[in-house]
């Protein structure tokens, strides 16, 4: 999937993946896509909850070799 | 309308310092307008230097220890520093942010910190020991915000 920016949250625990995803989105334009990589399994549900509550769209959520990959489209 | 959350932070130990900053930074990331009211021992969390924020195994039977430790041993000098060092190592190993980093993330996200003036005076804190981004006020000031929140927590 195409993306405009990447944020690697590998090794980070709650709440850093979410808080820093929010920070990464801050300087992006509406409609742009952020790729987030995380290793914290709690991030899977948190990322969906973040999208639901902020109006950003979680385009996909996959696991690759023990890492969780998210594509988040900015509102 | 923007959702709001208020937290009252009353504890000044390393373990209990985390919940207010974790919840506040997360809520801010979700778009909440957040205030934390620091009172009593919670005021320790506003110090520029957080190295005095420690955890004690004493009277803390729920704290998981690598080896069972009798209370008589927990009382020995240096045990608190040792427990704090071990806890910090554990937090780091698990990728948990330091208190300093979480607090900074809160400030970056415009979480408002209010220090309880009465307890600042009671414990004779010098305001120069605290970080700059602190407002001072009382319970009434806090209720002005807390009364209109969606979530209000006492930690």
Instruction: Tell me the pLDDT tens digit for each residue of B89-128.
Output: 999 999 999 999 999 999 999 999 999 999 999 999 999 9
Residue with tokens 């023990």: A66
- Asked if ipTM goes beyond 0.85, one says yes
B100 chain-A contacts, CB cut-off 8 A:
none
Task: Show the tokens assigned to B61.
Answer: 């039977």
Report the C-alpha gap between B12 and A4 in whole angstroms: 42
Q: Is it the case that residue B73 has pLDDT exceeding 90?
A: no
Rounded CA separation B40/B117 (Å): 10
Distance CA B36, CA A28 (A): 29
Helix (H, G, I), strand (E, B) or coil at A5: strand
Query: What's the rounded Cα separation, in Å, for the pair A47 and A50?
Result: 5
- Residue contact A13–B30, C-beta within 8 A: no
- Tell me whether residues B26 and A53 touch, CB distance under 8 A: no
Nearest to B26 among A11, A18, A39 (CB): A18
CB contact under 8 A, B97 and A18: no
* Residues from chain A contacting residue B31 (CB–CB below 8 Å): 53-54
Residue A30 buriedness (CB in 10 A; 0-12 / 13-18 / 19+): exposed
């Amino acid at each position: 999937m195409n993306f405009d920016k990447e944020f690697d949250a590998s090794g980070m625990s709650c709440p850093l993946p979410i808080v820093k995803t929010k920070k990464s989105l801050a300087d992006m334009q509406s409609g742009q896509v952020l790729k987030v990589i995380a290793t914290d399994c709690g991030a899977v549900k948190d990322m969906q909850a973040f999208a639901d509550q902020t109006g950003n769209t979680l385009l996909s959520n996959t696991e690759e070799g023990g890492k969780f990959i998210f594509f988040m489209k900015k509102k | 309308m923007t959702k709001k959350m208020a937290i009252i932070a009353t504890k000044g130990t390393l373990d209990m310092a985390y919940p207010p900053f974790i919840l506040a930074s997360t809520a801010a990331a979700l778009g909440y307008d957040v205030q934390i009211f620091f009172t009593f021992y919670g005021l320790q969390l506003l110090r520029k230097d957080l190295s005095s924020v420690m955890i004690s195994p004493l009277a803390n039977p729920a704290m998981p220890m690598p080896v069972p430790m009798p209370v008589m041993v927990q009382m020995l000098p240096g045990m608190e520093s040792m427990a704090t060092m071990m806890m910090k190592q554990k937090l780091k190993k698990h990728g948990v942010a330091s208190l300093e980093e979480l607090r900074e993330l809160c400030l970056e996200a415009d979480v408002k910190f209010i220090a309880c003036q009465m307890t600042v005076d009671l414990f004779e804190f010098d305001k120069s020991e605290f970080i700059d981004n602190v407002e001072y006020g009382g319970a009434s000031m806090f209720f002005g915000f807390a009364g209109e929140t969606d979530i209000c927590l006492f930690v």
